[in-house]
Amino acid sequence: MIKIENVTKTFGDFTAVDAVNLEIGKGEVFGFIGPNGAGKTTTIKMLATLSLPTEGTLSVGGFDIVRQPREVRRIIGYMPDSFGVYEDLLVWEYLDYFAALYQVEPSRRKGIINDVLELTDLTIKYNAQVMSLSRGMKQRLCLAKTLLHDPDVLLLDEPASGLDPHARIEIRELIRELCRMGKTILVSSHILTELADFCSSIGIIERGKMLAAGRIDEITAALSGNVVIEITVKGDPLAAIQVLEEREDITRATSDGRVVHAEFTGATDDVDQVLEYLINRGVRLTAFTPASADLEDIFLKITRGAVA
Amino acid sequence: MRFSNPILIKEMRSRMRGMRAFLVLTGYVTLLSIIVGLIYLVLSKNAPATLVNQAGIVLTPVLIYVQMGLICLIAPTFSASAVSFEREQQTFDLLIVSLAKPTTILFGKVGAALSYLLLTLFGSVPLISLTYSMGGVSMGDIAIAYLIMIVQGVTYCSFSFLWSTLIKRSVVSQLVSILTVIVLVAAMPALALFFTALSASFTGGPSSTFINVTFLLLRTNPFAAVASLIPGFPMPNNVWLRSVPIWLSQVVFYLLLMISSLYLSLRRLRNARNWV
């Protein structure tokens, strides 16, 4: 659905995006991760047809963003990281304005406006002035505007930035709902926990370079190395450590109170053998959790040394 | 075909909401009424009866000039921030990424600035009717004066819009637009008169070339165009383009300026993706 081939974008001497390649399939939710100034917004702006690449090609839904911008605009919904709203309009007028700009037929507009307001939980604000909305509500209003023409692809640039925790959760739930609706979503953030819950794949970008991209489980498997197993024991943790160290595939075992951390060098699928071994050797345990690396671990691992 | 420009509708909703628009319009007509009333008072007390009986010959041009002066201020103020303000308040990207065509943006924005301007112009029609009834001016001259004012307003809105596509900050864009108006209205005729006077001081009288240049430059000036409608306007016999009325050449010059500005604005909007 989204294809980025060898794309470079420069501003004078500064290279904002450096030979980036990326492919996002239909219905996928792609998390674009990177620190501030990494090149996320520049890439998203190019996909949104707001900026032209210096080199390379970008296409959305098979349409080239340079040669067919209008076709691209028809199928994308773009929510920028920082945006303004027309403060002196009413909420329905704001949405009606964008519905008209997206050439939604006048007879269908009212119904669509009601639908997107319901989806974004703003129905109660139908006749409110935009300036009276809170920051979170304005963010949701912008998302509602993005959905007016029922786009197949959503480009969401830091959709929860600057929001309080409650509003952040609301936006996250909304994106989750859009995932269920089958939209292809590219969502950027520098807050990794925001993306971990609902992204099927991720791309990590830093200083304009795409350091890794693909399905989260594939990247995790490729990068996480040893699996750390968390074992909560009922008896003496030192006895459990002794049993664990008998195995060749356990390189290290330490305890923290009743919790034992063991580094397992075998395949992820073989972790159950350790559990079986412990039970057979009479170790009494209440929890056994193979902890795979989370997005934060992966990000730090990939960008180690490169992050200032 | 149903005409509908969402940008024009949105701009009008924003501008006409609340009491502000009503109060500005009322204030404008009140100001014009006070000016006309004061001049009529002065005239009726000091001028000879023959002039008082034809008070329209003084009051109508005064009314037109006051309105032209306001156009010089209002048109750039309304239009020069059309795009730059959208960029400042970070709504321009949302506009560009929509399916709005550059022509929709152009005519929506310029149309909105213009519609308010036209509203103020037509708000003065009852006053003009009053000064017309006082005699001394023809209906044709009033129609030409309104044509000059409308073309003046459209032209100022057009090049102010062009500035707003070129300059990021709306304050700077407004300033440059007002400066452009000053150059068009005051600087060019002033320059022509200065050189005529300079030539007169060297040769004992202004040379015919300088007089011709002066009148050519006056042909670009809407105030001179209205003045040329007043009986007794001095027009030398052997000046270039004597047979062409000054107001006509001024209107044509402004129309050319307007078309060029709109064309350049459209080109600029079509390349919005290249704006940094």
Q: What are A108-158's pLDDT values in tens digits?
A: 999 999 999 998 889 999 999 999 998 888 988 998 999 999 999 999 998
CB contact under 8 A, A86 and B99: no
Dist. CA A120–CA A3, nearest whole Å: 29
Of A52, A73, A98, the CB nearest to B274: A52
ipTM over 0.90: no
CB contact under 8 A, A89 and B13: yes
Dist. CA B106–CA B11, nearest whole Å: 12
Chain A residues with CB-CB distance to B17 below 8 A:
88
Chain A residues with CB-CB distance to B95 below 8 A:
101
| pLDDT at residue A308 in the model | 34
CB contact under 8 A, A11 and B6: no
Of A11, A80, A102, the CB nearest to B99: A102
Is the Cβ–Cβ distance between A211 and A302 less than 8 Å? Answer: yes
Verdict on whether the full-model pTM lies above 0.90: no
A-B interface: how many C-beta pairs under 8 angstroms?
A: 67
Please state, in angstroms and as integers, the Cα–Cα distance from residue A41 to each residue in A65, A251, A257, B167, B179, following that order: 16, 42, 45, 23, 37
Cα Rg of chain A (Å, integer): 24
Looking only at the bridges linking them, the beta strands covering A209-215 and A227-233 are unpaired
| pLDDT at residue A307 in the model | 38
Contacts of B20 (CB under 8 A, 6+ apart): none
| pLDDT at residue B256 in the model | 97
Q: Is B89 near chain A, with CB under 8 Å?
A: yes
Distance from CA of B4 to the nearest CA of A (A): 9
Chain B residues with CB-CB distance to A45 below 8 A:
93
Dist. CA A126–CA A113, nearest whole Å: 9
CB contact under 8 A, A102 and B98: yes
Best residue of A68, A86, A148 to probe chain B, by most B CBs closer than 10 Å: A86
Looking only at the bridges linking them, the beta strands covering A153-157 and A76-79 are parallel
CA B54 to chain centre: 27
CB contact under 8 A, A97 and B9: yes
Token code pair at residue A62 = 């098979």
Token code pair at residue B263 = 């064309």
Q: What is the dihedral of CA B268, B274, B275, B276, to 10 degrees?
A: -170
Minimum Cα–Cα distance from A82: chain B residue: B90
Chain A residues with CB-CB distance to B20 below 8 A:
none
CB contact under 8 A, A89 and B14: yes
CB contact under 8 A, A80 and B94: yes
The 10s digit of each residue's pLDDT in A229-255 is 889 998 888 888 999 988 888 888 888
Chain B residues with CB-CB distance to A12 below 8 A:
none
CB contact under 8 A, A100 and B4: yes
Q: Is B6 near chain A, with CB under 8 Å?
A: yes
Is the Cβ–Cβ distance between A94 and A125 less than 8 Å? Answer: no
Minimum Cα–Cα distance from A130: chain B residue: B14
Is the Cβ–Cβ distance between A50 and A227 less than 8 Å? Answer: no
Q: pLDDT truncated to tens, each residue of chain B (276 aa)?
A: 456 899 999 998 888 888 888 898 899 899 899 998 998 898 888 878 777 777 888 889 999 999 999 899 889 988 999 999 999 999 999 999 999 999 999 999 999 989 888 888 888 899 999 888 887 788 999 999 999 999 999 999 999 999 999 999 999 999 999 999 999 998 877 877 777 777 777 766 667 777 787 788 888 899 989 988 887 777 777 777 778 888 999 999 999 999 999 999 999 999 887 775
Chain B residues with CB-CB distance to A127 below 8 A:
none
Q: Residue A11: beta bridge partners?
A: A14
| pLDDT at residue A305 in the model | 44
CB contact under 8 A, A86 and B273: no
Q: Could you please report the per-residue DSSP string of B146-189?
A: HHHHHHHHHHHHHHHHHHHHH-SSHHHHHHHHHHHHHIIIIIHH
Residue B81: CB atoms within 10 A of its CB come to: 25
Best residue of A51, A79, A94, A101 to probe chain B, by most B CBs closer than 10 Å: A101
Q: Is B14 near chain A, with CB under 8 Å?
A: yes
Spans of chain A below 70 pLDDT: 221-225, 292-294, 304-308
CB contact under 8 A, A70 and B93: no
CB contact under 8 A, A51 and B273: yes
Residues in chain A: 308
Closest to B182 in 3D by CA, of B147, B148, B156: B156
Which three-class secondary structure state does DSSP give residue A274? Answer: helix
